[in-house]
Amino acid sequence: MKKYIHLNCDLGEGGSFDEELMPLISACNIACGGHAGNLETMHRTVRLAMEHKVEIGAHPSYPDRKNFGRSVMEMSEEDLKLSIEGQVLSLKQIAESEGGKLSHVKLHGALYNAAAKDENIARIVVECLEDLDGDFTLFVPLNSKIADMAMGKFELIFEAFADRNYHENYSLVSRSEKHALINEKESVFEHVFRMVNDHKIRCVSGVEIPCEADTFCMHSDTPSSLEILNYLHKKLAERGFQISNA
């Protein structure tokens, strides 16, 4: 009996390989104007996802195209809520106009990391999404404030990263630090297989921590992301695993 893996990827961010990556994943998180993306790219990526029966997600961020949403922004609670609401609703309406449906919401970059460790940011995000009254799931990091805050309010999909290294407190190694990214296809496979088969994350310290993730993220802007995903399919299949919806 085959075992299935759910794999998601951030798309619609201006990358060159969206069309090639889409058939290889289970779910896509579509940039909706905050850090990247516009109406044209959202429509195009939604249509591509529907063609390949890939789950459609909104990928809101701080409204910071200059830094690709990877720097923390000081914003009032009201402004942050309005920004998130506008981004999610834009993608939701576009998906519906194309005959699809918004499946999930996953935060991007600095906002994702802030909501993981800052209780106030987590509260703002959850309250904003509750106000939208949408039928969607929420992708959240393991051992995070937003997971605690959203428990019982949303169906939660716990996420781990295929191409990022971790600290022992489940935080991601900062992109400004050495060894933040896992770029080699063999290393990505070993990292993912350990998480899905052994339910462990090996941190940069060498310590292993528990991992009970429902979905695994591969960034489309990771060097050789297409080569890595094809390699993952091949090596996981050899071990009896299949990436769902692919």
Q: Are strands 156-161 and 55-59 parallel, antiparallel or unpaired?
A: unpaired
Element (H, E) at 132: helix 119-132
Structural Rg of the chain based on CA atoms:
17
Give pLDDT, residue 223: 84
Each residue's pLDDT tens digit, 59-94: 999 999 999 999 999 999 999 999 999 999 999 999
Element (H, E) at 209: strand 208-210
Give pLDDT, residue 133: 83
- Taking the mean position of all CA atoms in its chain, how far away is CA 33? 16
pTM (2 d.p.): 0.96
- What residues in the chain have per-residue pLDDT under 50? none
Per-domain boundaries in the chain:
3-243
Give pLDDT, residue 246: 53
152, 222 contact by CB (below 8 A): no
Q: Give which of 70, 45, 68 is closest to 56, Cα–Cα.
A: 45
Pick the CATH number of 3-243 from 3.30.565.10, 3.40.50.300, 3.40.80.10, 3.20.20.370: 3.20.20.370
Each residue's pLDDT tens digit, 188-219: 999 999 999 999 999 999 999 999 999 999 99
Give pLDDT, residue 181: 96
